[in-house]
Structure 1
Amino acid sequence: MTKFNVLIKSAFIGTVGVVGSLFFLKKYNYKRTNMAVPTFFTHASPYIFARKGGMAVRPEHTQLAFDYANNHKVTGFDIDIRLTQDYHLVAFHDSELDRTTNGSGAVMTHNLAELQHLDAGYYFTDINKHHPYRDHHLAKILSLSEVLTKYPNQLIIVHILDAPDTTNAHRIPKLLFDIIVQHHAQHRVVVMSPFVEHLTAFADYNEEEIAVGASQKEMTEAFIKYILGIGHTFKPKSHFFQLTPQINHTKRLEYNYIQWLLRLNIVPSYSPVNNLDLMQELTKHGVHSIVTDRPDLAQRFNNIK
């Protein structure tokens, strides 16, 4: 996930060398480029997404988590995907299996059948340090196709996490596009990645029907131009910016930046937000989407908003 404080730090790296040219650009009049709003964002806001299905309360990326989140009235899920050895896409965060399952090694060195025999609840602990979901029949790795099929009414943010230079990773954008189309999910998925290469390749198939999120590179460019007062020269390529809240000394800057994004029809999202008061504060200032590790907060938020 992209962090707001990373944006701030990144914005100043290399700025000394480019400030002169940027202010030269400011002398000229540019027509501000606004993004068209995809269907994904036309439902009533704010949206509340369960990160990895709700990783604080259930084993991440499992049906246990997605069912729990679904029962708490979330708008959808924020998930990560990895490529398997036999070219399936699975809902999984790490490149290795060891942290969350009783398996080991890289995801990409296993086929889907092998992965789905693993216990994805093996290491999950509750507040009492117990392992309540070990050997649970719903604590299994799911394919992206299964997620889309099991939860047809949920909106889904999909993050491509395999680095472009890893084995067969070049296949992911086309595979992802085909899966979305096969499930008629073009209007309920946002595609994101920290890697520009994946987003560029996905755009070759997409033709702007499916919403896309910004890479770190794009968000850094936007923030640099915003703080230098030349935001009118920024030309968005993506519909969705996902930031991490740093509501402290930068509060005024952050909220003004949110309003600037909204004027460009860029949807601001914050992740993770695990505090009900912060959910209310962010949405009051125009944040469209909240991603939380605790789906129970979504229901409480919806009851009081």
Structure 2
Amino acid sequence: MGRKTKVALTVGAAGVAAWAASKAVAKPIPRKGKIALDFKKPVVLAHRGGLSEAPEHTSVAFSKSAALGIHGFAIDIRLTKDEEIVVFHDEYLERTTDLSGRISDHTFNDLKKADAGYHFTDVAGHHPYRGTGETILSLQELLELYPHLFILINLKDSPDTYEGSLMPSKLWRLLEELGVEDCVAVTSIYDEQIDRFNLYAQNRVAIGAGDSEVKKAYASYTSKFGHLYNPKADFYRIPAKLGVFPLGLEGFMQFLNQLNIPVYFEGIEEKESCIKLLNAGASGFVTDHPTSIMETIQEYSD
């Protein structure tokens, strides 16, 4: 046996020994359950109110989806010039309203003058909501309109911006003031924003996983050192695939479910894909098409 072979076998044996030792000592700690996430059946969250069926983030979208019996909404928030938290996705106003410029360049009163249904078109190419009075909502308005529904809040402003630096504390103060800590969940693609928010919330609100946390969990799962992974998040909102990482694997979902982490998939609209993910352990969906997904969930639950 050559020297290189002996070294390789020694290193391999050491790796196995290290894995066995860590497996014997390390015990993953499941996340403590949050009231906001306590659902007995698969959850349907209308993405921005159900953006394929009505202008996103408007009263008409939220009311149409609520009438379907959905469990809640997945929304985006941004901060205005006068530090009001508004329900809005894009940094700029042009894509969905008749105004222009950045959200953070306008006061909330200025934004209330915008036609929030301006660019929405239906399947026939018509603009049924243009000029009908649909306006941008504040987060407080939405929470007060739907106190019985679950609201999954996505922090859109980057932590490197002025408005992003203020958002975590502003959001926490609003949620605490309204007493809705058990009705909402907070997430962001920016792990730093989630951490900042939780410095104020102190685990009193369900928090999601940023992109880095998701990749960390997936790496732990695929490396066979998953027993060393201690999650920082209470839930995952993820696509079926993140870059080259296939997140819709049954094994990965079971790995997270054992840690008491529900998984909500976004961007999944086909009935067969939904059922496949539900059978694999998905807890629900964030959908642009709440009508069809509700039908699928009802059929699956029956």
Task: Determine whether 1:47 maps to 2:14.
Answer: no
Q: Deviations over 1:117-159 (max 9, x none)?
A: 100111111111111110112x211000010011111101000
What is the aligned partner in structure 2 of residue 150 from structure 1? 145
Q: Quick one: which amino acid aligns to residue 236 of structure 1?
A: P
Higher Cα Rg, which structure: 2
C-alpha distance in 2, partners of 1:185/1:282? 30
- What pairs with 1:1-305 in structure 2 (closer than 5 Å)? 26=19, 27-28=21-22, 29-137=25-133, 139-246=134-241, 254-304=249-299, 305=301
Q: 1:168 deviation in Å? A: 3.1
Q: 1:277 deviation in Å? A: 2.9
Q: Deviations over 1:65-123 (max 9, x none)?
A: 00010011110000000000001111100100011110100000101011111001111
Contact 1:22–1:230 (Cα < 8 Å) also in 2: no
Tell me, which stretches of 5 or more residues in structure 2 are unaligned?
1-13
Structure 1 segments of 4 or more deviating over 6 A? 21-24, 249-253
Q: 1:187 deviation in Å? A: 0.8
Contact 1:53–1:78 (Cα < 8 Å) also in 2: yes
Q: Which moved more, 1:277-286 or 1:198-207?
A: 277-286
Contact 1:68–1:295 (Cα < 8 Å) also in 2: no
Q: Among all aligned residue pairs of Structure 1 and Structure 2, give the percentage whose two residues are the same amino acid.
A: 31
C-alpha distance in 2, partners of 1:250/1:38? 28
CA RMSD of aligned residues (A): 2.1
Partner SS, residue 277 of structure 2: helix
TM-score (norm 2): 0.88
C-alpha distance in 2, partners of 1:167/1:109? 12
Contact 1:91–1:143 (Cα < 8 Å) also in 2: yes
Contact 1:51–1:272 (Cα < 8 Å) also in 2: no
Q: Which moved more, 1:165-174 or 1:211-220?
A: 165-174
C-alpha distance in 2, partners of 1:53/1:273? 16
C-alpha distance in 1, partners of 2:190/2:298? 37
TM-score (norm 1): 0.87
